[in-house]
Structure 1
Amino acid sequence: MSIHYPGLRDRTVIVTGGSRGIGAAIVEQFVLGGANVAIADVDAQGEKLAERWRVEGHDVRFYRCDVSSGESIRKLMEAVEQDYASVDVLVNNAGIFPRGDLQSTDEALWDRVIGINLKGVYLMCQAVSPLMIRQEKGVIINIGSMHSAKGEDNTMAYAVSKGGLITLTRNLAHALSKHRIRVNCVHPGWVASEGEVARWESMGSDMDKMQPAIQAIPLGRMQTGTDIAHTVVFLSSDFADQITGQMLAVDGGGSIRKPL
């Protein structure tokens, strides 16, 4: 099976946090689109995912990388440049979503969330952009969150990190446009991930009990990693050649629904 997205075949794509969840779904769609994919993650599961794709004849490689560390990113880029010579697309998907309100979010938790979710994106863009500038073309996609605009009591550091990502996206889109580098941000909606289901279970809930909230989503269902991945790949392709500096919500209309 393959999917035709103009401008992606044989291109090199880095997906941070690509070992599981939304990241793995993004990897899959790029592979099906004919791209070569570098999975950058602290989770060694990424090697198993890469091997699965290689067995099927695709060029997918795993690189262990902590995006909150400039040194780790430097080593990643040395390896990717050696293996691929160029980078055409960067997807900044790596992130964490710990719960904590104003009082329970201590300095260590704050630094960890900001370090991965916001600083990590900044460092990756800083490391990859020189290659794209030399190529006079490239795409950067940041994975944001609907929490960036509203947040909740217990998503203090997370919401702030994703809010900062909006400003970073807009600034980079302007700064890099003269090099024909496009920068956009995709905001996933309520994704039915393994982690989200596990969180429900920890609170004594399950899919059946969540149905009233799910049915309140205008398009009638939760989102999947593949929903997000389709949008990321579209924005990375030549179909989106004139789109930059934009925030696109993939949330089934959840952000426009009326309060319950």
Structure 2
Amino acid sequence: MTGIDVAGKTVLVTGGSQGIGGAIADRFAQFGARVVIVDVNEAGAEKAANMAAAGQEAHFVRCDVSRADDIQALAAEVQAKAGTVQVLVNNAGIFPRADLLRTEEAFWDRIMDINLKGAYLMSQAFVPGMIEQGTGCIVNIGSTHASMGSPDAMAYAVSKGGIVTLTRNLAKGLAHHGIRVNCVQPGWVASEGETERIRATGVNPDEQYAEVGARLPLGRMQTGEDIADSVLFLASSLSRQVTGQILTVDGGLSLR
């Protein structure tokens, strides 16, 4: 068994400056991967610099994944800085809340552009390089909202349902090129973004995390590191016969 064999590979993580994406970037770097952090958040530059100072190879490229011209420029810069991408992690996403009657067209479009169109555009940009090298891996970050639904997260849930469909279609279409495509569906993750959202409602995030975690079958909230470990598995040869699959990492939240 070859194990976690990502050392020396170029791994691109969208939304990699913090939260789940930040944890994914850290985990791959810890296993010797060459990490490219892609984000609109300039904090990614500081994160990459800190990783480099720790002896890890990391680069930051600013990019709005909802814009095709940004991604074209990104592809050229990544090739120059880090070479051909072997692992693409489509993690960038936003999760504002609104039910059907409060969901305006611009709100809907913005969520779809980042959460779903971004994954499609990124895949379209980097798959040709994977085809040329005869191997590659894409891991899309979905959400349990895709199957469970939530009245105040309708557009977000629909965008993540689209990620599931995109994953299965890409997996079927790219398998003969040696490219595997899978999806990780996190449950409720105690990330920076979620903490800020909860705090803005006047609730203590730590208290809410403890309360919700205690109700989960496995007894605690998920962390970014929990999701990162699952992504690492799907990107390694430990999952060499796994493609088109949806791996739910939610502490048992979705058990019936």
| TMscore range, shorter length | over 0.9
Question: Deviation above 6 Å: which 4+ runs of structure 1?
Answer: none
Task: Say whether the 8 Å CA contact 1:25–1:226 is kept in structure 2.
Answer: yes
Question: What's the C-alpha RMSD, in Å, of the aligned pairs?
Answer: 1.3
Q: How does 1:1-260 map to 2 (within 5 A)?
A: 5-206=3-204, 207-209=206-208, 211-257=210-256
Task: Say whether the 8 Å CA contact 2:66–2:113 is kept in structure 1.
Answer: yes
- What is the count of residue pairs matched by the alignment? 254
TM-score by length of 1: 0.95
SS in 2 for 1:14: strand
SS in 2 for 1:187: strand
Task: Say whether the 8 Å CA contact 2:4–2:233 is kept in structure 1.
Answer: no
Distance 1:56 1:209 in 2: 34
Structure 1 residue 193 displacement after superposition: 1.4
Structure 1 residue 156 displacement after superposition: 1.1
Distance 1:198 1:8 in 2: 33
SS in 2 for 1:254: coil
Task: Say whether the 8 Å CA contact 2:8–2:32 is kept in structure 1.
Answer: yes
Task: Say whether the 8 Å CA contact 2:140–2:167 is kept in structure 1.
Answer: yes
Q: Which runs of 5+ in 1 are unaligned?
A: none
Task: Say whether the 8 Å CA contact 2:6–2:236 is kept in structure 1.
Answer: yes
SS in 1 for 2:21: helix
Of all paired residues, the percent bearing the same amino acid is: 53
Distance 2:208 2:240 in 1: 43
Distance 2:61 2:208 in 1: 39
The residue identity in structure 1 corresponding to 2:248 is: A
Task: Say whether the 8 Å CA contact 1:5–1:33 is kept in structure 2.
Answer: no
SS in 2 for 1:142: strand
The residue identity in structure 1 corresponding to 2:5 is: G
The residue identity in structure 2 corresponding to 1:113 is: I
Q: Which runs of 5+ in 2 are unaligned?
A: none
Task: Say whether the 8 Å CA contact 1:184–1:245 is kept in structure 2.
Answer: yes
Distance 1:49 1:143 in 2: 21
